[in-house]
Amino acid sequence: MFCDAYAKKYQKKAGFKIHIQASENKDYLGYLSLKPSTRSTYDIAMRDATIDGLVTMDEINRLKAGQIFYRETQPNELFILQSVNEFEQQKDTRSINAIKQNSFTTIQRKQYNEETGENEYMDIYEDVISFVTMQSKDGKNFAAGIEDNTILTIQIPKFDREENKYIAKVEDRVILKDLGKDITREVKIESVNEFSVPGVVVMSGTFDTRTGD
């Protein structure tokens, strides 16, 4: 392997200073150079939020897919590390893919409530940082009106800051909130993908129009 010491010095000089949330009580300092991603040009939300880049840090082996990071100058703008690629010539540098948070996700599951004696939706994970996109898959004009089939795709980190895995299940209900928590929508989860992207769980579903509790 050819290690270029200049690359590390350049990253520290010209890169964004970032903080990686490695555990509940530990953040690591890194340096990021990036470019807006062109992987998803069909979707303006994805174009705005996805990045490809290089991260340089002294303890590079602690950089893992699924972690959260933010730029020092923008601490409220959080990114989820979707993948960390070790095929990189520089010893202390990794190429990464990341997505910027645009929502909060609360996952609810039907469980037996001992107080009421009923099966009810109860919070399993609350206000997990997430990224959501929407696609209008199908719209049909019936005599009774228009059926709008909007598909939502939600990405959350695969692990929390203590490296406990987030487990989502089909038929879970998601309470989706915008960043200001002013808009709330209920989503019925219809599929869960834990395999395709190393650092995130990808959930797909539709707006929950079921009645009752």
- Check residue 23 and give its pLDDT: 76
Residues comprising the chain, all counted: 213
Highest-confidence range of 37-46, 83-92, 138-147, by mean pLDDT? 83-92
Report CA-CA distances (Å) from 165 to 38, 48, 162: 29, 27, 9
Q: Which listed CATH number (3.40.1350, 2.40.10, 1.10.10, 2.60.40) goes with 5-100?
A: 2.40.10
Number of Cβ atoms within 10 Å of the Cβ of 27? 16
Q: Identity (one letter) of the amino acid at 158?
A: K
Do 82 and 199 contact (CB within 8 A), yes or no? yes
Is the pLDDT at 201 greater than 60, yes or no?
A: yes
Q: Which two tokens stand for residue 167?
A: 């487990």
Residue 88: its pLDDT value, please? 73
103-207 in CATH: which number?
2.40.10
For residue 35, what pLDDT is reported? 73
The 10s digit of each residue's pLDDT in 147-163 is 667 889 999 999 999 88
- Res. 41: pLDDT tops 60: no
Mean pLDDT for the chain overall: 87
Average the pLDDT over 127-141 and give the result. 81
Share of the chain above pLDDT 70, in %: 87
Alpha-carbon dihedral angle through residues 186, 37, 86, 57, given to the nearest 10 degrees: -90
The three state secondary structure string of 132-166 is EEEEEEEEEEECCEEEEEEEEEEEEECECCCCCEC
Q: Which residue has the tokens 């990464």?
A: 96
At 125 the pLDDT is: 97
For CATH 2.40.10, the residue range(s) in the chain are 5-100, 103-207
* pLDDT reported for residue 20: 96
Q: How many CB atoms lie within 10 A of CB 133?
A: 17
Mind listing the pLDDT tens digit for each residue in 92-121?
899 999 999 999 999 999 998 888 888 899
pTM (two decimals): 0.88
Q: What is the mean pLDDT of residues 61-86?
A: 94
